Structure 1
Amino acid sequence: MSALTIFNFENTPIQTIVENNEIFFRAAQLAELLQYKNPHKAIKDHVDFDDLTKREIVNTINKRAQVLFVNESGMYSLVLSSKLEQAKKVKRWITSEVLPQIRKTGKYQLKPQQLALPEPEKKFTFEFTEYELQQLVWAWFALLRGTELCEVLHPSLKQIGSYYAAPAHDIAYEYRSTLRQAHNVLNRITEQFKCEQGNNWRVLKHLRAYNPKKTGFQLEIL
């Protein structure tokens, strides 16, 4: 029983065997790959008897079967007899990639694909004053309040057919991801500060209590 080597051409599997550094292609599969309408007739019409051989293999249902293979000469006969564009591509691939590897190593191996690793995320270092950090949090808070307000107003604006219904909807729902992402960043860079009612850090209570799943007004307005 011969050992199979299976390779793929454009996601189509082809069974082969290699004996004494010579490759044999499963005849019917090769003819189908070359897009012959009647693969068995193509093999009979274009391949010499001496270029055909039968080998026993284990098929997909784990049973032994006698299968017809063609040697390299028979492969060229099938390829050159096909007038389709596919035949040129198959011939180019076999002669430039498959056969050279078999002659060199005794077997066909797919070329390893190098995985494209994602580029590391760029990191930057900036210095902020405490006041500047406060302004960033207040800007986030203003966006939060704006989205909450538009969410509440949108149904009424829509009901009366107002021009502002569509913009209110966009503001209410399209900036939610921005709020969530900015919330995570701001929480991280302001974690050393405490919420104090007597200064600009009083806005931190809204940042800390923010719930991205909640709708409507989350806390009382400052």
Structure 2
Amino acid sequence: MNLSIYEFNNQGIRIVLNNNNEPLFCLADVCKSLDIKNQNPKRFDLNIGGLHKMSLPTSSGMQTLTFISEENLYRIIFRSNKPEALSFQNWVFAEVLPTIRKTGSYTARHTAYEELNRLHMQEKVSKQKGSFHSHGMHKRKHEKHLNALRIKTCEENIQLAFEGITQ
């Protein structure tokens, strides 16, 4: 079993590949990253075929953990109204699905490059429009913080895409 860890909302999510090379996500990690306290699979109305029990070594020794399919991952994320899930939903609904509808596919690396260029341009223009008024400076500081987070995410997505090519 090949275990890898994906970072979402500053939380590591353990992922393993099943026999068909499809990703399975650790339910406990997904719930923790979405700030969901009750991690019982029954409460999410998940597809039973997408639930898998696996024994893995942890810091507390061997433990049996529940892993879920990609389909079940989306079920959990799209049912949640927590801010952590809403940011993922917004990305899927505003970017991924419209791009698939318009072009027939979605390429994360190409989209990340476009978004990275747009954010850098927005930062450049925003710096030139800076204001000395307290409200303008506060707004600019918040905008700069959000852009920095978005730029970091784009750069990580580009890096993940390149790692996928070389592996």
With normalisation by structure 2, the TM-score equals 0.49
Normalized per residue, the structure richer in strand is 2
Query: Whose radius of gyration is greater, 1 or 2?
Result: 1
With normalisation by structure 1, the TM-score equals 0.38
Normalized per residue, the structure richer in helix is 2
